[in-house]
Structure 1
């Protein structure tokens, strides 16, 4: 697995580095580091100023990458194959271009600043990657550097009844075999309630029946996976997505696998509403797969 870690001059880079190292230890492969500096606009005149400014930005980027390399090699004991300095006006677009040019398998980023501990805050870089990127995007929540167990121990697939989820399950099976990981197929059931009411009108008996049927459906989907993969189905009920996620017992070594919206362009990442909520509420790292992978 060729792993591209997006590097920035802040503490969130250490979270991304921890996740990139965990992916490397689990699946093997190569680690690439990249920093995207803000390229200047093509205004006429003052060319010598632009050249000097660009040189400064490139030198600064090299220092940022050097610090990140030291972190991953000394703290994580993981080798770095390549460092890439790239200029673009949009950091997310630039990182996506580097990923395509270097033919990487996954992009890893840290949260935007200001996020809550154990959660991922979507900033401009993540937003750009999650709305048009061409490679899977893995996101490390705030503080992951302190909770990361070293390598992954389970893949959790958030299930929706769609063709995109079926494709994601097939990709997850490949990941599971490569890393010798168990798989959980997870479905979140939200108890919708009529406007103005405090409680759902659905009876507990009807809800229990639905959960049993949903569990059976998930187990049927899991039966199509290769026999050498340990797998289980799990259905969690909550008042909303955040509440349902909180009700589950998460392990620090889990990776949540999410799918792009069915409205996304083929081979592109695009978040739907439910996936966006899961990215923001998940207490473990998540990865969003491009549509049709």
Structure 2
């Protein structure tokens, strides 16, 4: 099993390294340190290539990957490490290609610049991966490397009854088992926008919410009953996704959510709700490809000795 970790020279690249090392250690996986360079520019002559520019890129890439491997060894000297370099105008597309070439199970990236501390920040790299990656994408929140947990203690799977929800839940629980972590299904119940202020209308809204709560609990209980092993369940309410997630108790969690219901099969294609979950999560987030199989982790290629 291989985990591709996107390497960048900025301090935010350390967040991806810390999270990638943590997941690789728990999953018994190899780390593929990956960097995407801009493609070489044509020189002045026909068919010529700027050799000086290419030499500069090679030097900078080697220095970056040397530093990344050094940091990784400091965190865990026993982790098996590989390197991969790609040339692409889009770093996210380049990482997706490396993941396919190395038969990787995951791609891990850090936050975009300018995000809030403790939250996932999305930039162009994340956007490209979240709209086309062939493997699950894991996003590290800003500052994760400063105080990383000793291990992922629990995988929390965002659950909403839908066409692919059973496969998503089973895949998330299987990943928790791979990490030897606890598993929890989490359903967010969002309160509707209040359109009327009259007492009669408020009573009707409260009745609707009681029905929604009860249906969510029944759906959650049915989903847990279909899963193997011990799985916890929790429903939380909020006026929006951020408020609901803020009401959840987190304890060294990895939050797992599904792609949207549209988009290419076997590719990550984040939907509206998943996008809001990613942006407002306080923990690392994994987004699964659309049409993910429940046995996805068992079919990943084993690590080379």
Question: Does 1:264 find its partner at 2:266?
Answer: no
Distance in 1, matches of 2:141 and 2:78, equals: 20
Question: Does 1:287 find its partner at 2:296?
Answer: no
Whether the 8 Å CA contact 2:255–2:284 is kept in 1: the answer is yes
Q: State TM-score, norm by structure 2.
A: 0.89
Q: Which residue of 1 aligns with 2:70?
A: 70
* Cα displacement string for residues 13-37 of structure 1 (whole angstroms, at most 9, x for unaligned residues): 1111111111112211111101101
Label 1:86 to 1:196 Cα distance change in 2 as closer, same or farther (>3 A): farther
Label 1:110 to 1:216 Cα distance change in 2 as closer, same or farther (>3 A): same
1:219 to 213, 218, 221: 221
Label 1:217 to 1:103 Cα distance change in 2 as closer, same or farther (>3 A): same
Q: Which residue of 2 aligns with 1:143?
A: 143
Distance in 1, matches of 2:104 and 2:127, equals: 19
Distance in 2, matches of 1:59 and 1:198, equals: 69
Cα deviation for residue 270 of structure 1 reads: 0.4
Whether the 8 Å CA contact 2:19–2:140 is kept in 1: the answer is yes
Q: What number of residue pairs does the alignment pair up?
A: 290
Distance in 1, matches of 2:197 and 2:207, equals: 20
Distance in 2, matches of 1:78 and 1:225, equals: 34
Q: 1:118-157 alignment to 2 at 5 Å?
A: 118-157=118-157
Q: Which residue of 2 aligns with 1:24?
A: 24
Q: 1:10-49 alignment to 2 at 5 Å?
A: 10-41=10-41, 45=45, 48-49=48-49
Q: Which residue of 1 aligns with 2:295?
A: none
Label 1:163 to 1:77 Cα distance change in 2 as closer, same or farther (>3 A): farther
Question: Does 1:108 find its partner at 2:126?
Answer: no
Q: 1:161-180 alignment to 2 at 5 Å?
A: 161-180=161-180
Secondary structure at the counterpart of residue 221 of structure 1? helix
Cα deviation for residue 147 of structure 1 reads: 3.2
My pick for the range that moved more, 128-137 or 141-150, is 141-150
For structure 2, the residue ranges without an aligned partner over 5 or more in a row are 293-305
Whether the 8 Å CA contact 1:62–1:85 is kept in 2: the answer is no
Cα deviation for residue 59 of structure 1 reads: 1.8
Secondary structure at the counterpart of residue 163 of structure 1? coil
